[in-house]
Each structure stands twice: as C-alpha cells, then as structure tokens.
Amino acid sequence: MENNGYRIVFLGPPGAGKGTQASLLSEKYGIKKISTGDILREAVRKGTELGKKAKKYMDAGELVPDDIIIGLIEEQIQGVDSFILDGFPRTMKQAEALDRLLSERGKPLSHVIFVNVPDEEIVKRLTARRVCPNCGAVYNMIYNPPKRDEICDVCGTPLVQRSDDREDVIRNRLKVYRESTAPLIDYYREKGIFYEVNGVGKVEEVLRRIEGVLRG
C-alpha cells in the first residue's frame, strides 16, 4: 500500500477505536495522523489559550466551537499531502469547511471510513480505557491491558483515566455524536467515498478490514 494521496477521515462514535486504528495505520504506512482530541488534550495540559477555551466543553462531553477547531485543522493540514483525520470533522460545518480547504488545493478526501460499534460495547470500552499521560499510548483494562498493572508498556509511566471517560459524560458524548456527527454519514455517502467497517472484533481484525478497504 503506497501512502501517496491517502486523505482519510475516521468517522464513528466515541470509543469505536478510531484513535487506535489511526495510530496503527499511521505507523505502518507513514501517514500523518491528526487527532483533534489529542491536540486539545495537550493544549489543556499545557494551559495554552486554546486549552483554556476548550476545557469546559471537553469536561462536559460537548463539542468545542467549530471556528476554533476549523482553525486548528487548517494549520495542521498545511502542506501535508496524505493524512488520517481522527475525531474531525464532527459537525456539518466542519465537514463543509474541510471540503472547501481541500478543494482549493485540488486534493479532496480519498476515503471516509466509518467504524461502527454498538452503544453497549462503547460504554464498556470507554469506562475501561486508560491512557498514558506521557506518550499518549491507549490501553483497555478489559481488551488490551498493559503488561504490568496500569503502567505504560512503552515508557513506564502510570496510566490515567481520561476525565471525560465517566459514564455520565460518555452518555452525553454519545448523544452529541448522534445529533451532530452521525448526519455526516449521509453527507459522505452521497459523495461516493464512504466505507463502513465493523469495529467489533480484535484490534488486528479491524485493522485488516480497514486495510482491505484502502486497497480497494
């Protein structure tokens, strides 16, 4: 699989495994991964202006305003030919802005991959998610636990739970997903670049399904 010209969006509910799959593909094929959630969390950690603006929305499981996010993506994709977007776009306004940005350069999206996982499974996955605050590695205490109890395999740092991975916030994130993000499914389906992948199964199995789509 050549990485040239892959401009991929990962769409799907929170906890579908978008970040996990985007990281694997990014490493395997050398395609830049752009995760708006990761960028925002780092900004919150560093206490930057962006972080200060975003924090209250993230803690409540609400979306950060479109103008902030669109500005962020504009910066990130500058001069980048191939990329994987994880967690963006999440609203119709973001999707339209992305289309405009890419069509100005004559380099439209190549694939929108919808990773589908049922709600019950999502709550189970997200309450068991642990992340490394140092290197960003993502684990799951049920499905892919670290080798040593709650310690990062990669860098040895104690793992933490994301502050928005609490059941009440997860329920709100699912509601926001249904209202604001799920409509993008039809938007991209009409453009003929939409592919649905079953997100249930082992991480490696889901990866193989996605690679199958990308090979065509």
**Per CB under 6 A, does 206 bind ligand ADP?**
yes
Cα–Cα distance for residue pair 210/5, rounded to 1 Å: 16
- Beta carbon nearer to ligand ADP, 95 or 115: 115
Of residues 105-124, which lie at the interface with ligand AMP (CB under 6 A)?
none
Q: What is the closest distance, in whole angstroms, from the C-beta atom of residue 12 to ligand ADP in the complex?
A: 6
Q: What is the closest distance, in whole angstroms, from the C-beta atom of residue 13 to ligand ADP in the complex?
A: 7
How much helix, strand and coil, in percent to the nearest 5, is found in the chain? 50, 15, 35
Strand segments (E) across 103-148: 111-116, 129-131, 138-140
Task: Out of 24, 31, 50, 69, name the contact with ligand AMP by CB under 6 A.
Answer: 69
Contact 19, 86 (CB under 8 A): yes
Does residue 46 have an active-site annotation? Answer: no
DSSP annotation string for 147-160: SSTTB-TTT-PBPB
Contact 153, 146 (CB under 8 A): yes
Of residues 139-168, which lie at the interface with ligand AMP (CB under 6 A)?
164
Q: Which does 139 bind (CB under 5 to 8 A by kind): ligand AMP, ligand ADP, none?
A: ligand ADP
Segment interacting with ligand ADP, rule: CB under 6 A, options 17-25, 56-64, 89-97, 151-159: 17-25
Q: For tokens 């990329």, what's the residue?
A: 83
Find the catalytic residue in 162, 166, 189, 209.
162
Q: What is the closest distance, in whole angstroms, from the C-beta atom of residue 196 to ligand AMP in the complex?
A: 19
Length in residues, the chain: 216
182 Cβ contact partners less than 8 Å away, ≥ 6 residues apart: none
Q: Give how many residues touch ligand ADP by CB under 6 A.
A: 19
Cα–Cα distance for residue pair 167/152, rounded to 1 Å: 24
Does residue 18 have an active-site annotation? Answer: yes
Structure tokens at 203: 């991480």
Q: What is the closest distance, in whole angstroms, from the C-beta atom of residue 187 to ligand ADP in the complex?
A: 19
Residues that bind ligand AMP (CB under 6 A): 14, 36-37, 40, 57-58, 61-64, 69, 87-88, 90, 94, 164, 173
